[in-house]
Amino acid sequence: ACLRTLSSRVLPEMFNAYVKLHAEGEGQDASIAGHSRQVALNAVQSYVQVAEPGLVGNLFKTLVARMLKATTAEAGAGAMAEAVPVAELANAIVPHLAAEFLELALKVFAPMLSSGGAAAEDDKGTAAVLQRTAYRAISGILQHDASGKLGDASKILELWAMLRDARQTC
């Protein structure tokens, strides 16, 4: 009960710490930085399990807004670099979202499947990482207990078409 009460303050701090950890890991040994990031994501996932579902949904919407802001055309290179850790955080909490947020998650991550062709050469690596994150998020959405409530067959067919088209960009 105490952890649940503190989650509204602790989780945003964990998110900020992860983004900072991600930025500091650039240029370091990839295996060490990757391990540190995975440990931090596991901690976030564990803490999200005890948080109120409404809070988790609101935090997801905040992460999505940050991610979309970072990936827009007006965003600079620094903002694009923030898109990766924010997308990874959003992906990490997908399995713990309430059913009403799954469609939003699908709308956010599905377009990222085919965004492999970034305009700037510097953004190609970032776009590839975001694409991999989107695949993991879609997998998490489809494995979610409430994924059967995503809608009718036409949405499933749209998703399959998007997955087929995205394979051509990999």
pLDDT at 117: 44
Tens digits of residue pLDDT in 56-94: 999 999 999 999 888 876 656 667 778 999 999 999 999
pLDDT at 92: 95
- Residue 57 tokens read as 């949904």
Q: What is the DSSP string of 85-137?
A: HHHHHHHHHGGGS-GGGHHHHHHHHGGGGG----SSTTHHHHHHHHHHHHHHH
**Terminal CA-CA length for the chain:** 45
pTM: 0.84
Structural domain boundaries in the chain = 2-167
CA nearest to 64, candidates 21, 14, 112, 27: 112
Amino acid identity of residue 83, one-letter, is A
What is the distance, to the nearest Å, from the Cα of residue 1 to the centroid of all Cα atoms in its chain?
27
pLDDT higher than threshold 90 for residue 164 = no
Rounded to an integer, what distance in angstroms lies between the CA atom of residue 150 and that of residue 143? 12
